[in-house]
Structure 1
Amino acid sequence: MLLVYLRSLVRDESAVDDLFQEAMVVAWKRLDECDLDRPFGPWLRGIASRLVLAHYRKQKSLPVVVQEAVLNVVDRHFRNINLLAGDTWDDKVAALRECIDALPEKHKVTIRGKYFEGLSVAGVAERFDVTIEACKKRMQRGRTMLAACLKSKGVLSASEAEL
């Protein structure tokens, strides 16, 4: 949904990709500021809209579509879409947990070791007595399977799954 939002405001596809990545980084850094009992989409779009405005300020042009009143209308339409199931933080975390639980065991323990226990790749490899290269390959395959699962649940779009 964030990519759709950005594409509705910015025509340049490479700028959309950059803005998406930047919005995700900012959101990650500010996650403790997010009220996780409220829908996640409006909070994330708020970050993205400020980044879009900054993007156009750098270019010294502000298209009609990015004027504040237009941003408010676009956001209102997205809010209506967000009333559908699946947009809360809990919905997204539940889908991620389900997808992790569905992974084959060797991929599941590798992903959990790296991302939930904070082990280094070398630490995960040592724990499961595999080479670092084998561990990296398990993580890569596990992430690919996670992306496909999240895509099938509607949590990720096809383009997000490729990132």
Structure 2
Amino acid sequence: MLSVYLRSLLRDEAAVDDLFQETMLVAWRRLDDCDLDRPFGPWLRGIASRLVKAHYRKQKSAPVQLHETVLAVVDRHFENITQMAGDTWDEKVAALHRCVDDLPEKQRGVIRERYFEGMPASQVACQCQISIEACKKRLQRGRAMLAECLKKKGVLDGGGVVT
């Protein structure tokens, strides 16, 4: 969830990875300050949001969506995800994994390597011994099949948005 939260605030994947690790280090150092009787997610997201703000200050550019009101709304949405019975993030991820497992082998392989292993499409194509165009087509078909499967499971709405 922390990684998803950071991705909602940052476009740069390297920055997401760096700030994820930095958030975990700060949290580890400040674990004694955490009230374990309260939810852990908001405390961790608070650390992450301060680090994101510092990141943008250092870059001398802050996107509009970092306004305090927007951060509060994003945080509230993440808190709602963890509190909704039958609609938790873990259940959505489990549904995604079941849908991936149900894909035909050709699509399952490229989807896993591209999105689960984080390989660039060119490397996936090379590993599968197919052209980059064939790899992109398999990924496209695989994503369409996943979207259809997730719609049937009630995880996506009609527009392909996670509900």
Tell me if 1:114 matches 2:97. Answer: no
In structure 2, what residue type is equivalent to 1:135? C
Matched residue, 1:95: 95
Matched residue, 1:149: 149
CA drift of 1:114 comes to 0.6
How far, CA to CA, are the matches of 2:129 and 2:122 in structure 1? 10
Alignment equivalent of 1:82, drawn from 81, 84, 94: 84
Tell me if 1:26 matches 2:9. Answer: yes
Change in CA separation of 1:35 and 1:140 when aligned onto 2, cut-off 3 Å: farther
In structure 2, what residue type is equivalent to 1:134? A
Task: Let me know the Cα RMSD of the aligned residues.
Answer: 3.8
Change in CA separation of 1:113 and 1:107 when aligned onto 2, cut-off 3 Å: same
How far, CA to CA, are the matches of 2:97 and 2:40 in structure 1? 20
| SS of residue paired to 2:160 | helix
Alignment of 1:44-59 (within 5 A): none
Matched residue, 1:9: none
User: Identity of aligned pairs, percent?
Assistant: 43
Matched residue, 2:128: 128
Q: Which runs of 5+ in 2 are unaligned?
A: 1-5, 25-38, 42-64
Contact 1:148-1:161 within 8 A present in 2 as well: no
| 1:91-130 alpha-carbon deviations (Å, 9 max, x no partner) | 0111010000000000000001111112111100010110
| 1:55-103 alpha-carbon deviations (Å, 9 max, x no partner) | 8xxxxxxxxxxxxxxx9xxx9xx89x933x1x11210111010000000
Contact 1:110-1:135 within 8 A present in 2 as well: yes
CA drift of 1:27 comes to 8.9
**Bigger shift: 24-33 or 120-129?**
24-33
CA drift of 1:143 comes to 0.5
How far, CA to CA, are the matches of 1:117 and 1:107 in structure 2? 14
Matched residue, 1:139: 139
Q: Which runs of 5+ in 1 are unaligned?
A: 1-22, 37-49, 56-70
| SS of residue paired to 2:159 | helix
Higher normalized contact order (CA 8 Å, seq sep 6+, divided by chain length): 1
